[in-house]
């Protein structure tokens, strides 16, 4: 587990992913002003291993709306997973430019800082995550990471 979090498709079972992709692609065509189909299309593509297709969906969304925090964050997660930590950090930072209290971006920047050995930056981002989502899905994990860093 790399600890990186991304936005997830709500209510889609793993077995339904191959069916969901074309439905999201069609929905994106029918209403280009709705960002959700492209966000979800990218997630579905990433889940089935089509990272190029995921990247295409999210960059298409960013071409329409450069402030899409889910698109920035998910592109950054792809970069992180491919080992491109500088691009990942830039993507998470872009997320925070548009959404300063985006809990997922703070969590991921904390994980990135931990991976780099920068406990001070990790603590800042983990604490911000907890401020924004004290009872969020990763709150217990974040508290444990702060404890392990000696920064509770």
Separation between Cα atoms, residue 116 and residue 118, nearest integer Å:
6
Q: In the prediction, which pLDDT does 4 show?
A: 46
Which are the contacts of 113, defined by CB distance < 8 A and separation ≥ 6? 119, 120, 121, 122, 124, 125
pTM of the model: 0.79
pLDDT of amino acid 10: 44
pLDDT score at 102: 93
Residue 150 has a pLDDT of 85
CA 19-23-27 angle, 5° bins? 170
Straight-line distance from the first to the last Cα atom of the chain, in angstroms, rounded to the nearest whole number: 22
pLDDT of residue 125: 96
Q: What is residue 78's predicted lDDT score, i.e. its pLDDT? A: 92
Q: How many CA atoms lie within 13 A of 40 on its CB side?
A: 22
Angle between helix 69-81 and helix 51-64 axes, rounded to 10 deg: 150
Which residue ranges in the chain fall short of pLDDT 50? 1-4, 6-15
């Amino acid at each position: 587990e790399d600890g990186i979090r991304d936005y997830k498709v709500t209510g889609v079972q793993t077995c339904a992913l191959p069916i969901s992709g074309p439905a999201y692609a069609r929905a994106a065509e029918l209403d280009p002003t709705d960002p959700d189909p492209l966000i979800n299309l990218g997630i579905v593509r990433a889940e089935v291993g089509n990272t190029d297709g995921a990247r295409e969906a999210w960059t298409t969304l960013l071409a329409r709306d450069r402030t899409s925090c889910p698109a920035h964050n998910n592109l950054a997660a792809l970069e992180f997973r491919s080992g491109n930590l500088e691009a990942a950090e830039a993507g998470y930072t872009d997320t925070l430019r548009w959404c300063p209290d985006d809990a997922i971006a703070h969590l991921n920047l904390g994980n990135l800082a931990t991976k780099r050995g920068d406990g001070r930056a990790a603590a800042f981002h983990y604490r911000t995550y907890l401020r924004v989502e004290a009872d969020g899905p990763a709150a217990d994990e974040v508290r444990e990471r702060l404890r392990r860093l000696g920064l509770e």
